[in-house]
Amino acid sequence: PHTSKTNRYELIAGERRWRAAQMAQLHNVPAIIRDFSDEEAYEVALIENVQRADLNVIEEADGYRQLIENFGYTQGKLSEIIGKSRSHIANLMRLLTLPEDVCNLVINGSLTMGQVRPLVGHEDASTLAADIARRGLNARQAEALVARPRDASSKQSAAALTKSADIRALEAKAEKTLGVKMDITWDEGRDRGKMSLSFTKLEQLEDVLKKLGIS
């Protein structure tokens, strides 16, 4: 019963079924009437809410967090009540450790759970998440990006990345101007690059330095 209005009731759980009954033009539906305190009503509403199909994973995870922190539930108990595996609940709750800007990308639909899961615990999570969203990487590509070694000397370093047409054009322009071979590598994932010159004689290096205004 409603706490302040006579002969009025507050719907705590079952909103989806109630709306479905409305769409089916059912005027009478079975209901269970119970007396709940505000805290109990909030608890029941949370349990109902985390089972909604239209929740994103961050909202679902936050619902689990509130039930655990405010009402003493364990992940195992939630698994029994909600009917989802304990590992599912644990994996979702790990997403809450991501930076707020990364969580917002999931909330607004820019990224999925599969795309951000590899970012959990990563110090560059925000930068990587923005890059994944900008480049439209799928979950597997996102995992590969995060797993890429940071050591520039590694086999999968920036030097091994495929060069774009723009990079090759810059190399050709530099080689024509300086008269020596130019090698440019650019790691778009980390926004950093390297440029190196190759020469066979010291005279070539001296000529390059002169062209650069270094005497």
Q: What single string gives the DSSP state of each residue in 125-185?
A: HHHHHHHHHHHT--HHHHHHHHHS---TTSTTSGGGSPPPHHHHHHHHHHHHHHSSEEEEE
- Over residues 102-144, the pLDDT tens digits come to 999 999 999 999 999 999 999 999 999 999 999 999 999 999 9
Chain-wide mean pLDDT for the chain? 84
171-194 tens-digit pLDDT: 888 888 988 888 888 777 667 788
Beta-carbon-side half-sphere exposure of residue 190 (alpha carbons within 13 Å)? 20
Catalytic residue among 10, 15, 40, 80: 15
What is the CATH architecture of 1-97?
A: Orthogonal Bundle (1.10)
Encode pLDDT of 54-103 as tens digits.
789 999 999 999 999 999 999 999 999 889 999 999 999 999 999 999 99
How high is the pLDDT of residue 127?
93
**List of residues 6+ apart from 41 with CB closer than 8 A:** 10, 12
Q: Where are the domains of the chain?
A: 1-97, 109-147, 158-211
State the CB neighbour count (10 A cutoff) for residue 183.
Answer: 15
Q: Is 60 an annotated catalytic residue? A: no
Contact 211, 177 (CB under 8 A): yes
Angle at 19 between CA 25 and CA 66, to 5 degrees: 165
